[in-house]
Structure 1
Amino acid sequence: MTAGRMQISGRQIFWIIVCAETSPMESVLLTPLFQTAKQDAWISMAVGGLAGLLITFLIMRTSLLYPKQTIVEYAQTILGKWFGKLFVIPYLVMALLGLGVILRQFGDFIHMALFELTPLWAVVLGFLLMCMYLTYAGGIEGIGRSAEIIGPIVIFAVLIVKVLNFSSLDVHLVQPIYWDSGWKQILLGSLATMSFVGESVVMLVLVPFVSQPNRCMSYTMWGQAISFVLVTGSVFLVTSIFGPNLAGRLLYPAFEMAGFISIADFLQNVESVVVVLWIFGYFIEVSVFLFVTCYSLGQWLHLKDWRKSIWPVAAILFILAVIPKTLSTATIEAPRMKWTLIGIFINIVIIPLLIYIVGYCQRKFKTSVKMS
């Protein structure tokens, strides 16, 4: 089972990152930020974005050590068969738990916004089946082509919503800057972005599928940078419209901000457009993570066809998504849990850094031996 059979372009990687990060961050990240950093939430978002770019750079450098192999393969190449397989287990666990949380977040939002009388499990199941179909039928190529179509629409609509809200801004609600929160609360708020920065770990598996791996770094970094800029702008606008206290009590501040738009009593109910865009973003995010999880699990178990793992993985994800009893468990509490942040930090910083150092030293040693 090799990655060479499916290929995507660097441009498609860019749009996958934009879709997978912009919509989910705008939907569920804002409330924890406001509750922690108040009116300085936009600074926390910016700090988290810069940290995210550094982490993405580390992940990409690690992947480019062996650009034709996924982490399941090069972890065994660098660390040996058994240690390599052992180091991949945290990623499989994180992918399953993370996807379960993402599905529940999506289900809660759609249940609240559109289908209040529909059972939550039906919303989650219907969406999961669509993602399964795209993953099974199209693989990463189908996901890449879908993101290439959906991505520009998402960015355009997000920018339009921001422009239409300019008339409602009150910059006094953002003041005073820094003094009420201090650097500790700002840094603490930026930790909430860790659960979304972790999405860049998909590149540990996707690099071998990119037709030009050497250009993958720039496309990935630009995709994440644009996502963080867009979401930072949303945080600033929400603060300027609702104020930090009210925004911290709203479950979906960006959604409420879109509902605040009213131009000449003609252009209203824009929040319905936001719902559709967030559905698109979640669709790409869940699909790409489902592919990465199933493909990695297939490699880890040495399956001849990685698609055989889709059904059991989907069954586990459905169970995980419907377990939380309250709406805020997956949306607010899960991204801020101490063990969640520690686990994500280990997966996106410690393990890639360890693999990179060992792999880099091995390559240097082999080069010196050949030269001698």
Structure 2
Amino acid sequence: MQIGGKQLFWMILTMQLGMTILLTINPSIQTAKQDAWLSTVCATGIGAGIAYVCSRLSIYHPRQTIVEFSKKLFGRYIGYTVMVLYFIYWYSVLAIIIRQYAEFIVATILPKTPILVPMLGMLLVAIYVTFSGLEVIARCCEILGPLTLLGIAIPLLLSLKNIHINNILPFYVDTGAMTILKGALPTSTFLGDCILLFVIMGFLAKPQDGMKPAILGVAAAGLLTSISTFLILSVFGHISASGQTYPYFNLIRYISYFDFFQNLDSFVIAIWIISVFTKVSLYFFVCTYGTAQSFGLKKWRRMIWFVAPVIALLTLIPRDFIDSSVVFPQKIAIPYLLPIHGIILPLLMWGIAKLKYK
């Protein structure tokens, strides 16, 4: 299995765009108020920095995944511990992604549907694509990525006529640097899942060319999130937007031209589902391939039938929307997953690699 740099860009962008815009803008606005768009700009820098470190580390170990190079850097036992920490991250986040997707679908377009239906539906699609291999996921992203980008960008352009600049004033004065940085944490957590690069970059045909598309993919997703946040604040104001569960979704519903060009929410939901499909498929592939590799299984596809039931059970742990989209991000993802898995461990491994391969 081999992928190209262009495919890597579309994989990262498509994976991060949908859920980052849908789920991180509200908590950022609740924290940073009218300066939340500055928070998302800061988060973009943090995400791009994580992508840079992950890419540089992977370039030191061409055609290897974290399962292999963690043992080279730390030794057998500590390397195994680091590997397990990342698998805990990927398994738990994958389950939460599927649960958040199902909660949104049931809340918006299928209100009387049992939540198991969208969860199992998305999981089955991910199983099918993963069985075909990473190359198939990459080709899907090459086709669906531009559609996702246009599907997010066009509604933003159509929202320009509704903005009121006074809603985002004054800049900085009412919040300050620390509040803006605190508001960047939710978006940084989502953009930080580019640590999947520790596995995905092992399949690049030209590993040395992987850093630029990886960083650009994260930066593009962060930039569109920043623009979305700016427009949401400009249209609704921070008081109204902070009380909306899905402010981007409400922004799209607000679009109307001549009472004819309106009701774009179903179109945006379809685009968002594409993004979730990409994210779930990549996470599922990483969990499956990485687990098989850690057990020394050459026929890695057999591990699908272990990973799928485990993920299905984990999706049932959150009791409701509050557990999956509020408690998990605030109590687990932001205080533990982002600093440990996204910042400390990558920097530590990169530092060791620089010294070792000096």
Question: What TM-score range do you get, normalising by the shorter chain?
Answer: over 0.9
Q: Could you tell me how far 1:86 is from its partner in structure 2?
A: 1.6
Q: Deviations over 1:175-214 (max 9, x none)?
A: 1111112212111111112321321111111112111111
Q: Determine the structure 2 residue equivalent to 1:93.
A: 88
Which of the numbers 274, 277, 282 marks the counterpart of 2:271?
Answer: 277
Counterpart secondary structure, 2:245: coil
| TM-score, normalised with respect to structure 1 | 0.93
- Separation in 1, partners of 2:326, 2:298: 39
- Separation in 1, partners of 2:327, 2:11: 26
Answer yes or no: is 1:126 the counterpart of 2:121. yes
- Separation in 1, partners of 2:222, 2:346: 22
Task: List runs of 5+ in structure 2 lacking aligned partners.
Answer: none
Judge conservation of contact 1:195–1:341 (CA < 8 Å) in 2. Answer: no
Matches within 5 A, 1:1-372: 6-136=1-131, 138-337=132-331, 340-364=334-358
- Separation in 2, partners of 1:336, 1:192: 8
Higher mean C-alpha deviation, range 87-96 or range 309-318: 309-318
Counterpart secondary structure, 1:73: helix
| TM-score, normalised with respect to structure 2 | 0.97
Counterpart secondary structure, 2:61: coil
Counterpart secondary structure, 2:256: coil
Q: Percent identity?
A: 33
How has the CA–CA distance of structure 1 residues 193 and 339 changed in structure 2, closer, same or farther, with 3 Å as cutoff?
Answer: closer
Judge conservation of contact 1:239–1:247 (CA < 8 Å) in 2. Answer: yes
Q: Determine the structure 2 residue equivalent to 1:368.
A: none
Counterpart secondary structure, 1:322: coil
How has the CA–CA distance of structure 1 residues 338 and 305 changed in structure 2, closer, same or farther, with 3 Å as cutoff?
Answer: closer
How has the CA–CA distance of structure 1 residues 143 and 339 changed in structure 2, closer, same or farther, with 3 Å as cutoff?
Answer: closer
Amino acid at match of 2:66: I
- Separation in 2, partners of 1:251, 1:316: 29
- Separation in 1, partners of 2:202, 2:333: 31
- Separation in 2, partners of 1:45, 1:361: 33
- Separation in 2, partners of 1:62, 1:192: 25
Higher mean C-alpha deviation, range 188-197 or range 248-257: 188-197
Q: Deviations over 1:281-310 (max 9, x none)?
A: 000000001101111111111112111221
- Separation in 2, partners of 1:99, 1:357: 28
Provide the aligned C-alpha RMSD in A: 1.3
Higher mean C-alpha deviation, range 326-335 or range 229-238: 326-335
- Separation in 2, partners of 1:275, 1:129: 19
- Separation in 1, partners of 2:302, 2:12: 26
- Separation in 1, partners of 2:207, 2:298: 25
Judge conservation of contact 2:44–2:188 (CA < 8 Å) in 1. Answer: no
Judge conservation of contact 1:45–1:190 (CA < 8 Å) in 2. Answer: yes
- Separation in 2, partners of 1:304, 1:88: 18
Task: List runs of 5+ in structure 1 lacking aligned partners.
Answer: 1-5, 365-372
Q: Deviations over 1:155-187 (max 9, x none)?
A: 112111011111111111111111112212111
Q: Could you tell me how far 1:339 is from its partner in structure 2?
A: 6.0
Q: Could you tell me how far 1:261 is from its partner in structure 2?
A: 0.7
How many residue pairs get aligned? The number is 358
Q: Deviations over 1:255-304 (max 9, x none)?
A: 11111111101111101111000000000000001101111111111112
- Separation in 2, partners of 1:65, 1:88: 17
Q: Could you tell me how far 1:341 is from its partner in structure 2?
A: 2.9
- Separation in 2, partners of 1:291, 1:177: 43
